[in-house]
Amino acid sequence: GENVEQHPSTLSVQEGDSAVIKCTYSDSASNYFPWYKQELGKRPQLIIDIRSNVGEKKDQRIAVTLNKTAKHFSLHITETQPEDSAVYFCAAGLLNTGNQFYFGTGTSLTVIP
């Protein structure tokens, strides 16, 4: 089955700096890579996703890059704000088969004001 690794497990940045979270996956068939943000005590919420036919996607301060050859993808948050503090999960999925998502181990991001 799919195995997703995520680094770092914790990340602290100063407000205004950038944050980068990296993930690798094992199943080359995976073709969908969502990122979820989970604030304390709340449910995970999708913040951005990318499909395997795209190398990069950006949405305001958030961007995701995908390297299919190396089987890794990254989340980039620029101009971080205190409200960005949360746990971020990457996931890898195989669409149109079972559509299951396999999640990484999570990154606890703290943005220091």
Partner 1 sequence: GAVVSQHPSWVICKSGTSVKIECRSLDFQATTMFWYRQFPKQSLMLMATSNEGSKATYEQGVEKDKFLINHASLTLSTLTVTSAHPEDSSFYICSARDGTGGTYEQYFGPGTRLTVT
Query: Which residues form the interface with partner 1 (CB under 8 A)?
Result: 1, 6, 32, 34, 36, 42-46, 49, 89, 93, 95, 98-106, 108
Beta pairing partners, 50 = 33
Q: Choose between 69 and 99: whose C-beta lies nearer to partner 1.
A: 99
Taking the complex as a whole, the smallest distance from the CB of residue 95 to partner 1 amounts, in Å, to: 6
Report the amino acid identity of residue 98.
G
d(CA 73, CA 77): 14
Tokens matching residue 39: 């604030």
Q: Choose between 14 and 96: whose C-beta lies nearer to partner 1.
A: 96
Taking the complex as a whole, the smallest distance from the CB of residue 30 to partner 1 amounts, in Å, to: 12
Residue 8 preceded by cis peptide, ω within 30: yes
